[in-house]
C-alpha cells in the first residue's frame, strides 16, 4: 500500500504544507478549526509521520547511549556490542548518534559511577544492560528525574523508574528449561531420581535471578523426583565455570541435568567433555553462540534458548526515540525465547 504523504494531507485539508508542518509539530499560530481539519485529514488518510524526515527537517541530532559490560569472554555481550555498532552506522545518516559506554562486568559500583557521569545536555536517552543494586537503581531514577529516558536491555532493574524493559521473559525461559530437562530425564512420572545442577552468572543479575525462579518453580511442582542442587555462581566466566562444573560432576554421580542460565559455557563444555559418564547429563544453556552451536551439534548440549539481540537493539533505539520525542506510548515487538535443538540449528 503506497505511503500517504504530507502533500496529500495538505490537499485533503485544503491548507498549505507549512500549515500541516505547524500542526504536526505542535507549533502556535494555527486556528483551532484549521488544526481540526488537518487532524481529521491525518486520521482519514492514515498518515504516519516519517521520523527520519522530521529529524532532517528540524536538523536536530539525536544522541543515545548504550551502557553495557565491556568486551571480554562473554560471547553474547561481545555480539551485542557488534550489533549496537552496526545499528549506529545505519542510523548515522539519519542524524542519530548512538554511542556505547562500557563498565566492568558484574560491577554494580562501576555501573552506578558511569550512570552518574552522564550529562543530560549531551544525551537524549539511555539503554542499559544492568546489574541490580540500590546504587544502580538510584542512578537510573536520577537520570529520569533529569528528563533523560532510560530503558533496560537484556537484564532489568526493578523497582526503578526506567520506562521499559526490553528482552525476553526470563522467568518463562527458566520454566522452559525445567520442562525440557524434566521431560528429557524421564518426565513427571519418571522412575529415575537424581540431581539437577544450576549455574548462573551472579544472582545480582535480574535476568539470571528470574531464570532461576522460573526453573525452580517448574522443577519442584512438576518433577519432584529431581533434586535441585545449590545454585552455582560462575561469574559469566569460562575460567570460573569450568572448574565449578567439573567439581559438580565429580561430587554428584547421580547428576541427570544441568541448566546453564548465564554465560561461561565454554568452561561447562570442557568439563562435560572430560566426563565419561553414560548417559551424559541433559544440558540446557542460553544463547546460540559459536561455542554453543558446536556443543549442540556434538551432542554435548541438549538445547539452547536464544534471544534475538538485533531485535532488542532495534526495540531499544525505537523506544528511546519515542520517549525523547514524547510520542505516543511505544509498544515494542515482543522478543520471544527461541529453542534450538541439534535438529534445527541454523
- Fold held by 170-306: Rossmann fold (3.40.50)
User: Phi/psi at 103 (nearest 5 deg)?
Assistant: -135, 160
Residue position matching grid coordinates 562435560: 272
Phi, psi of 335 (to 5 degrees): -95, 110
Measure Cα distances from 202 to 128, 152, 165, 217, 338 in Å: 17, 18, 19, 19, 23
Tell me, yes or no, if the two domains 61-165+309-334 and 170-306 fold the same way. Answer: yes
pLDDT at residue 52, as a whole number? 46
291 neighbors 269 (Cβ within 8 angstroms): yes
- The pLDDT, as a whole number, for residue 288 is 97
- Specify the DSSP element, H or E, that contains 64: strand 62-69
Q: What is the DSSP letter of 294?
A: H
pLDDT at 340 (0 to 100): 98
Q: Which CATH number is 6-49 given?
A: 1.10.260.40
The residue extents of the domains of the chain are 6-49, 61-165+309-334, 170-306
Q: What is the pLDDT along the chain (346 residues), one digit of tens a residue?
A: 466 776 688 889 988 766 877 788 776 778 888 888 988 988 888 887 655 455 545 547 899 999 999 999 999 999 999 999 999 998 888 889 999 999 999 999 999 999 999 988 889 999 999 999 999 999 999 999 999 999 999 999 999 999 999 999 999 999 999 999 999 998 766 567 899 999 999 999 999 999 999 999 999 999 999 999 999 999 999 999 999 999 999 999 999 999 999 999 999 999 999 998 889 999 999 999 999 999 999 999 999 999 999 999 999 999 999 998 887 667 888 899 999 999 999 9
**21 half-sphere exposure, CB direction, 13 A CA radius:** 8
CATH topology (fold) of 61-165+309-334: Rossmann fold (3.40.50)
Structure confidence at residue 93 (pLDDT) = 80
List the beta strands (DSSP E) in 201-342.
226-228, 232-233, 255-260, 282-286, 303-306, 338-341
- What was the pLDDT predicted at 56? 45
For 213, residues 6+ apart whose C-beta sits below 8 A from its C-beta are 171, 174
Q: Is 206 helix (H, G, I), strand (E, B) or coil?
A: helix
Amino acid at each position: 500500500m503506497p505511503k500517504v504523504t504530507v502533500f496529500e494531507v495538505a490537499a485533503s485539508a485544503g491548507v498549505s504544507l507549512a500549515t500541516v508542518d505547524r500542526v504536526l509539530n505542535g507549533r502556535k499560530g494555527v486556528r483551532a478549526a484549521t488544526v481540526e481539519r488537518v487532524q481529521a485529514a491525518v486520521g482519514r488518510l492514515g498518515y504516519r509521520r516519517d521520523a527520519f524526515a522530521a529529524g532532517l527537517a528540524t536538523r536536530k541530532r539525536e544522541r543515545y547511549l548504550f551502557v553495557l559490560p565491556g568486551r571480554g569472554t562473554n560471547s553474547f555481550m561481545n555480539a551485542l556490542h557488534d550489533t549496537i555498532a552496526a545499528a549506529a552506522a545505519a542510523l548515522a545518516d539519519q542524524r542519530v548518534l548512538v554511542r556505547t559506554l562500557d563498565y566492568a562486568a558484574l560491577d554494580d559500583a562501576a555501573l552506578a559511577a558511569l550512570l552518574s557521569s552522564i550529562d543530560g545536555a549531551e544525551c537524549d536517552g539511555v539503554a542499559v544492560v544492568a546489574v541490580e543494586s540500590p546504587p544502580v537503581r538510584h542512578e537510573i531514577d536520577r537520570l529520569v528525574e533529569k528528563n533523560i529516558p532510560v530503558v533496560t536491555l537484556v537484564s532489568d532493574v526493578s523497582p526503578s523508574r526506567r520506562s521499559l524493559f526490553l528482552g525476553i521473559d526470563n522467568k518463562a525461559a527458566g520454566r522452559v528449561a525445567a520442562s525440557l530437562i524434566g521431560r528429557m530425564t524421564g518426565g513427571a512420572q519418571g522412575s529415575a531420581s537424581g540431581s539437577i545442577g544450576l549455574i548462573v552468572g551472579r544472582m545480582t543479575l535480574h535476568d539470571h535471578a528470574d531464570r532461576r525462579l522460573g526453573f525452580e518453580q517448574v522443577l519442584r511442582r512438576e518433577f519432584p523426583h529431581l533434586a535441585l542442587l545449590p545454585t552455582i555462581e560462575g561469574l559469566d566466566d569460562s575460567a570460573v565455570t569450568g572448574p565449578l562444573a567439573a567439581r559438580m560432576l565429580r561430587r554428584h554421580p547421580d547428576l541427570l541435568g544441568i541448566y546453564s542460565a548465564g554465560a561461561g559455557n565454554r568452561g561447562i563444555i570442557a568439563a562435560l567433555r572430560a566426563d565419561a559418564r553414560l548417559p551424559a547429563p541433559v544440558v540446557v544453556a542460553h544463547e546460540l553462540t559459536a561455542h554453543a552451536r558446536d556443543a549442540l551439534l556434538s551432542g554435548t548440549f541438549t538445547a539452547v534458548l536464544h534471544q534475538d539481540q538485533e531485535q532488542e537493539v532495534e526495540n531499544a533505539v525505537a523506544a528511546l526515540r519515542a520517549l525523547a520525542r514524547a510520542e505516543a506510548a511505544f509498544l515494542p515487538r515482543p522478543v520471544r525465547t527461541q529453542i534450538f535443538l541439534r535438529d534445527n540449528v541454523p
